């Protein structure tokens, strides 16, 4: 156990599935509420944490959108991202692809430039001060319509140099990827990397649509792909990366117990799975906590943990030489005496 914990810490990791608004810890939420003169629905940090008992994705999203209402100024977004990046550095995360939800802010009257400005400044400082490399993936909220997503893409085009990719998140059931066919085509034409949440609560057909209609390069979650053997074959053959989030799946009741988590079956079927934190402030753990929890529950071997970390590196937007040096470092860590 001690050995596994030390291995997880020493391996240089990528985090490819983190919603930056989901890293808003209750303490920072209260501090920002005070700074901005906002009254929260909960009396204290403890009362707020007590409310983090979710029956499903929608239960969580309702609280997540309430929580982000304390983010108003450029400095707020800077403080949010800085806190996460420091936490990521402590977990030996070297490269982050950070989701953000601009529609959750612009709908409240916060300018798009305020959001991107604060997040980007934190990323620039973290690169210099922490040695963590991070980039931004803007998500469309799928419970809103495509016209709203189109307007959001127009905003992003003015910040093309600060945003690397486009994703799709929020309430999955009833909001299939095909709802966003046109706006994703436009995002791809503009040269953005594209990814989408699919198969978290939604059916395998949503994973097919994300691949075939949206043309995504990765699938975020993808758990329910295992219900469709033809889909599993396709994902394995085409080395489509799945960004899996074990503690999120547990807390949102996508799985009833981590010992039943599909990660081992995914590995056994040759799927390219990585481990990520999703919304760490809400789900009880950052990336290393996710590695620990799922390794303990599934009794993962050293080689399996290393394979998952390598998958995250291969599936990332690191350059080929950055990938080579991270993979070489992993080989050195594995060769170190126990």
Q: Which residues bind ligand ADE (CB under 6 A)?
A: 19, 22, 57, 64, 169-170, 197, 200, 248, 278-279
Joined together, the tokens standing for residue 134 give: 């991070």
CB neighbours of residue 195 within 10 Å: 27
Q: Choosing from 200, 227, 304, 329, which is the catalytic residue? A: 200
Question: Which does residue 142 bind out of ligand ADE, Zn ion, none, counting CB within 5 to 8 angstroms by kind?
Answer: none
Q: Are 247 and 293 in contact (CB under 8 A)?
A: yes
Q: Are 240 and 213 in contact (CB under 8 A)?
A: no
CB 123 → ligand ADE: shortest distance, Å? 19
User: Which residues 6+ apart lie within 8 Å of 325 measured at CB?
Assistant: none
CB 22 → ligand ADE: shortest distance, Å? 5
Give me the count of residues in the chain.
Answer: 338
User: In terms of CB distance, is 137 or 183 closer to Zn ion?
Assistant: 137
Nearest to 97 by CA among 84, 107, 106: 84
Angle (nearest 5°) at CA 302 between 84 and 6: 50
CB 56 → Zn ion: shortest distance, Å? 14
User: In terms of CB distance, is 20 or 318 closer to ligand ADE?
Assistant: 20
Question: Which does residue 22 bind out of ligand ADE, Zn ion, none, counting CB within 5 to 8 angstroms by kind?
Answer: ligand ADE
CB neighbours of residue 27 within 10 Å: 12
Question: Which does residue 165 bind out of ligand ADE, Zn ion, none, counting CB within 5 to 8 angstroms by kind?
Answer: none
Q: Are 198 and 221 in contact (CB under 8 A)?
A: yes
Question: Which does residue 251 bind out of Zn ion, ligand ADE, none, counting CB within 5 to 8 angstroms by kind?
Answer: none
CB 277 → Zn ion: shortest distance, Å? 9
Q: In what order do the strands lie in the sheet with 241-244?
A: 13-19, 93-100, 133-141, 165-169, 193-198, 218-221, 241-244, 272-275
Cα distance between residue 181 and residue 236, in whole Å: 24
Question: Which does residue 170 bind out of Zn ion, ligand ADE, none, counting CB within 5 to 8 angstroms by kind?
Answer: ligand ADE
Closest-CB residue for ligand ADE?
Answer: 169
CB 84 → ligand ADE: shortest distance, Å? 14
User: Which residues 6+ apart lie within 8 Å of 94 measured at CB?
Assistant: 12, 13, 14, 131, 132, 133, 326
CB 299 → ligand ADE: shortest distance, Å? 26
Does residue 91 touch Zn ion according to CB under 5 A? Answer: no
- In the residue annotation, 200 being an active-site residue is answered as yes
CA dihedral of 114, 187, 134, 98, whole degrees rounded to 10: 70
Candidates 278, 280, 297, 298; binder of Zn ion (CB under 5 A) is 278
Nearest to 214 by CA among 167, 172, 171: 167
User: In terms of CB distance, is 15 or 278 closer to Zn ion?
Assistant: 278
Which residue do the tokens 């706006």 mark? Answer: 183
Question: Which does residue 282 bind out of ligand ADE, Zn ion, none, counting CB within 5 to 8 angstroms by kind?
Answer: none
Site for Zn ion in 136-175 (CB under 5 A): none
Does residue 15 touch Zn ion according to CB under 5 A? Answer: no
User: In terms of CB distance, is 60 or 77 closer to Zn ion?
Assistant: 60
Which of the ranges 74-82, 179-187, 272-280, 284-292 carries the binding residues for Zn ion, by CB under 5 A?
272-280
The contact set with Zn ion (CB under 5 A) reads 278
Q: What amino acid positions are annotated as catalytic residues?
A: 200
């Amino acid at each position: 156990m001690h050995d596994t914990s030390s291995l997880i810490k020493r391996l240089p990791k990528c985090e490819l599935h983190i919603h930056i608004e989901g890293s808003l810890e209750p303490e920072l939420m209260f501090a920002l509420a005070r700074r901005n003169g906002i009254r929260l629905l909960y009396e204290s940090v403890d009362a707020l944490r007590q409310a983090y008992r979710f029956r499903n994705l929608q239960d969580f999203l309702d609280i997540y959108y309430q929580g982000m209402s304390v983010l108003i100024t450029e400095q707020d977004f800077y403080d949010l991202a800085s806190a996460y990046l420091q936490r990521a550095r402590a977990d030996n995360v070297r490269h982050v692809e950070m989701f953000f939800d601009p529609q959750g802010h612009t709908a409240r009257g916060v300018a798009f430039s305020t959001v991107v400005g604060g997040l980007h400044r934190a990323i620039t400082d973290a690169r210099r001060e922490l040695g963590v490399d991070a980039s931004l993936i803007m998500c469309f909220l799928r419970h809103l319509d495509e016209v709203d997503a189109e307007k959001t893409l127009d905003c992003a085009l003015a910040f093309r140099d600060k945003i690397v990719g486009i994703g799709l998140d929020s309430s999955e059931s009833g909001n299939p990827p095909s709802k966003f066919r046109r706006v994703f085509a436009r995002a791809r034409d503009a040269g953005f990397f594209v990814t989408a949440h699919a198969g978290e609560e939604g059916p395998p057909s949503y994973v097919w649509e994300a691949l075939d209609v949206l043309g995504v390069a990765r699938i975020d979650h993808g758990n329910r792909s295992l219900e469709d053997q033809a889909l599993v074959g396709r994902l394995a053959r085409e080395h489509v990366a799945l960004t899996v989030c074990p503690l999120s799946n547990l807390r949102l009741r996508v799985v009833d117990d981590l010992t039943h988590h599909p990660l081992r079956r995914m590995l056994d079927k040759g799927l390219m799975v990585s481990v990520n934190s999703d919304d760490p402030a809400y789900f009880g753990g950052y990336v290393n906590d996710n590695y620990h929890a799922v390794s303990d529950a599934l009794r993962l071997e050293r080689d399996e943990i290393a394979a998952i970390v390598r998958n995250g590196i291969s599936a990332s937007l690191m350059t080929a030489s950055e990938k080579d040096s991270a993979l070489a470092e992993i080989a050195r860590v594995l060769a170190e005496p126990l």
